[in-house]
Structure 1
Amino acid sequence: MLDRRTFMRVLAAGTGICALGGATYVLADEKARREAAALKRPDGRSRLPPNQYLLQRLRAMGGSEGDPSAKGFSLKVHGEVEQPFTIDFAGLLEMPQVEQVCDVHCVTKWTVLDSHWTGVRVADLAARAKVKKSARHVIFEAAHGYTSNVLLREALAPNVLIAHRYEGSPLARPHGAPVRALVPDLYFWKSAKWITGIYFSPVDRPGYWEVRGYNNHADPWKEERYG
């Protein structure tokens, strides 16, 4: 819980307090929501997708945790590639690092604007593996058999990362430490936590949530929440 002084200051500023999953999250006020909805992305779409509300920081969304240690991390890049490889955490840090600011949208209707991430582009990993022309989809593989599927052309977008830092700090355990996928232009369940592999596939393979009724594509601006 926020202390009384902080609570009153936030309340006076017209911002809401919301308890979610045992933690306290600060909701941006209605004015901020309207302003965000009026902002445009380079592609002309609103920065705030339909029927989303604003949080000021990520909400941990649960899931079956993997090994959170950097020492235990290993990422397998395989499938329709000419040079499959496995990379550890130190090797990931040796690759070109990208720092980016992006918005994140959850299917449960919260959005965080201007979140800061550091990681390696999936496109760079794909280039190293020499993806074959037969590849059409990317399957993000994670702990305990979790997967999420993304079209190849979307997975290779420059803002799609294998991320290891959030807001300048190493990923926290609830957010997928030590490394997670980041696919900011799709609902956040596509950004698999505790990632273990990237599989380049010639055919689509619906993932954990997709086979349980979630939309196979997950575009927030089309509200592709459920199948």
Structure 2
Amino acid sequence: MEKPSRVMAPTMLDRRTFLRAVAAGTGVCALGGATYVLADDGATRQAATLKRPDGRPRLPPSQFLLQRLRPMGGSEGDPSAKSFKLRVYGEVESPFEIDFTELLKMPQVEQTCDVHCVTKWTVLDSHWTGVRVADLAERAKVKKSARHVIFEAAHGYTSNVLLREALAPNVLVAHRYEGAPLARPHGAPVRALVPDLYFWKSAKWLTGIRFSAVDQPGYWEVRGYNNHADPWREERYG
């Protein structure tokens, strides 16, 4: 979930309509001119029995399945790869700025993972390509004083993540989804991907990664959303 857009963000009525359709077992639901395909009940029941390597269920409590990501709105940034710049700075010894071409020259990771939105949808086995935040941190030489990572995005949007979680091997600066460049509604050209937290932490239209000694709650966190956002603990609201 991203900072609301004047045009793209779904209204609360839209969300209620969407959730009622889910409860009724609707296979396809249209919101704002877009169509979202729900997984069938059998797939949802099966997913509820699957386990992650850490023993937690793949489908967190109260979630339902979608087949693909649902665009969640937000104030769009510049989608052009040519104009993309990512600033990596803060509590680091070697701050730097990288463009899209340089990002592609770094070690690339192809990853399959599940993502979970605070609005209760989950997509299993989503496919991403990108660069590990841990590799960017290594290049920047993060100081021992750093405890948090602040993802910075277009129009001042931020999301905060604990350093140890941001450096997990499945946390990426992602530029491809399902084998194709990110679509504009999903944050083109680059977004954060933090799959083990609710998806609003995965900031779209990424512009910066700031390492911080102190926590700095982001856009949704200061508006009442949970500061940590663990889907398995249903940490939706503060």
The TM-score normalised by the length of structure 1 is: 0.93
Residue 10 of structure 1 corresponds to which residue in structure 2? none
From 127, 131, 137, the equivalent of 1:126 is 137
User: Structure 2 matches for 1:46-125, cutoff 5 A?
Assistant: 46-125=57-136
Q: Distance in 2 between matches of 1:222 and 1:151?
A: 16
After superposition, the Cα gap between the structure-2 partners of 1:39 and 1:15, relative to the gap in structure 1 and judged at 3 Å, is farther
Q: How many residues align?
A: 214
Aligned residue identity for 1:120: V
Residue 50 of structure 2 corresponds to which residue in structure 1? 39
Q: Distance in 2 between matches of 1:28 and 1:15?
A: 10
Residue 192 of structure 2 corresponds to which residue in structure 1? 181
Aligned residue identity for 1:48: L
The 3-state SS of whatever aligns with 1:165 is strand
Residue 210 of structure 1 corresponds to which residue in structure 2? 221
Q: Distance in 1 between matches of 2:41 and 2:85?
A: 43
The TM-score normalised by the length of structure 2 is: 0.89
Q: Distance in 2 between matches of 1:35 and 1:20?
A: 27
Q: Say whether 1:155 aligns with 2:166.
A: yes
Aligned residue identity for 1:84: P
Q: For residues 23-59 of structure 1, what are the alpha-carbon distances to aligned partners after superposition, in whole Å with 9 as ceiling and x for unaligned?
A: 1111111111010010000000000000001000000
Shift of 1:15: 7.0
Contact 1:143 / 1:195 at 8 angstroms: preserved in 2?
A: yes
Q: For residues 91-114 of structure 1, what are the alpha-carbon distances to aligned partners after superposition, in whole Å with 9 as ceiling and x for unaligned?
A: 000000000000010000000000
Q: Distance in 1 between matches of 2:70 and 2:64?
A: 13
Q: Give ranges in structure 1 of 5+ residues lacking alignment.
A: 1-13
Contact 1:15 / 1:28 at 8 angstroms: preserved in 2?
A: no
Residue 11 of structure 1 corresponds to which residue in structure 2? none
The 3-state SS of whatever aligns with 1:34 is helix
User: Structure 2 matches for 1:135-174, cutoff 5 A?
Assistant: 135-174=146-185
The 3-state SS of whatever aligns with 1:49 is coil
Residue 9 of structure 1 corresponds to which residue in structure 2? none
Q: Percent identity?
A: 87
Residue 27 of structure 2 corresponds to which residue in structure 1? 16
Q: Distance in 1 between matches of 2:191 and 2:205?
A: 6
Q: Distance in 2 between matches of 1:37 and 1:147?
A: 32
Residue 20 of structure 2 corresponds to which residue in structure 1? none
Structure 1 runs of 4+ with >6 Å offset: none
Residue 192 of structure 1 corresponds to which residue in structure 2? 203
Aligned residue identity for 2:224: G
Q: Distance in 2 between matches of 1:22 and 1:221?
A: 31
Shift of 1:22: 2.0
Q: In angstroms, what is the RMSD of aligned CA positions?
A: 0.9
Q: Distance in 2 between matches of 1:15 and 1:40?
A: 26
